[in-house]
Amino acid sequence: MTAISRSCIALARVIEQVLLSREHVERDYAALEDRVADFRARAERTDTAEALLRVERDSSTEQYNDLQAQLRAAQDQIADLTTQLAHAPATPPPSTVPLARLFAAQGERDDARAERDDLRVDLAAAQARADAAEAERDQVRQLVATAEQQRDRVTRVLVVAEQERDGALDMRDQARRISTALRRERDAAVTERDQTRQAVAALEQRRDAAVAERDQARLALTAQRQQRALVDEELRVTRTSLSQSRAESEAA
Calculate mean pLDDT across residues 55-62: 67
Q: Which of 9-18, 126-135, 185-194 has the highest mean pLDDT?
A: 185-194
39: CB partners within 8 A, 6+ apart: 140, 143, 144, 147
Other beta carbons within 10 angstroms of residue 119's beta carbon come to: 20
pLDDT digits (tens, 9 = 90+) for 212-225: 999 999 999 998 98
pLDDT at 5: 58
pLDDT at 153: 81
Calculate mean pLDDT across residues 153-162: 77
pLDDT digits (tens, 9 = 90+) for 14-41: 666 655 666 666 676 676 667 666 666 6
Check: CB of residue 193 under 8 Å from CB of residue 22: no
Residue 133: exposed, middle, or buried by beta-carbon count in 10 A (0-12, 13-18, 19+)?
buried
Domain residue extents for the chain: 3-211
Residue 175 confidence (pLDDT) above 70: yes
pLDDT at 219: 92
pLDDT digits (tens, 9 = 90+) for 78-119: 666 666 656 655 444 544 445 666 677 677 767 767 776 776
- Lowest mean pLDDT, pick from 72-81, 168-177, 243-252: 72-81
Q: Which CATH class is domain 3-211?
A: mainly alpha
First vs last C-alpha separation in the chain: 101
Report the alpha-carbon distance of residue 182 to residue 234 in Å, rounded: 75
Angle CA(162)–CA(163)–CA(168) in degrees, nearest 5? 95
Q: Please state whether the predicted TM-score (pTM) of the whole model is above 0.85.
A: no
pLDDT at 97: 47
Calculate mean pLDDT across residues 235-246: 85
102: CB partners within 8 A, 6+ apart: 78, 81, 82, 85
Give per-residue burial for 15-29: e unless 16+ CB within 10 Å, then b: beebeebbeebeebb
101: CB partners within 8 A, 6+ apart: 77, 81
pLDDT at 144: 75
Check: CB of residue 179 under 8 Å from CB of residue 11: no
Mean pLDDT over each residue of the chain, to the nearest integer: 74
Calculate mean pLDDT across residues 61-74: 66
pLDDT at 221: 92
